[in-house]
Amino acid sequence: MGWFIILVLVVGAIAAYKYRVPLLAKLTGQPQQRIQRAIDRRKDKP
């Protein structure tokens, strides 16, 4: 049973990472384009 809970948490984390832009936009009330630009800016910094 414990492995099932861990599996659900891992799958949930992967899904949250994959859909992070729409999730963050919904949570913060910001447009998705603004969230995506902020993520892209962080990737460009060394």
42 pLDDT above the threshold of 90: no
pLDDT tens-digit readout, 2-25? 899 999 999 999 999 999 999 999
Count of domains for the chain:
1
User: pLDDT at residue 46 above 80?
Assistant: no
Task: State the Cα–Cα distance between residues 4 and 30, nearest whole angstrom.
Answer: 35
Residue 17 lies in domain? 2-44
pTM of the model: 0.66
How far, in Å, CA of 15 to CA of 31, rounded? Answer: 20
Q: What is the pLDDT of residue 43?
A: 79
Q: Residue 16 has which token pair? A: 């949250």
Q: For residue 34, which of 21, 18, 43, 16 has the smallest C-alpha distance?
A: 21
Predicted pLDDT at 39: 87
Lowest model confidence (mean pLDDT) among 10-14, 15-19, 26-30, 41-45: 41-45
Taken as a whole, the chain contains a residue count of 46
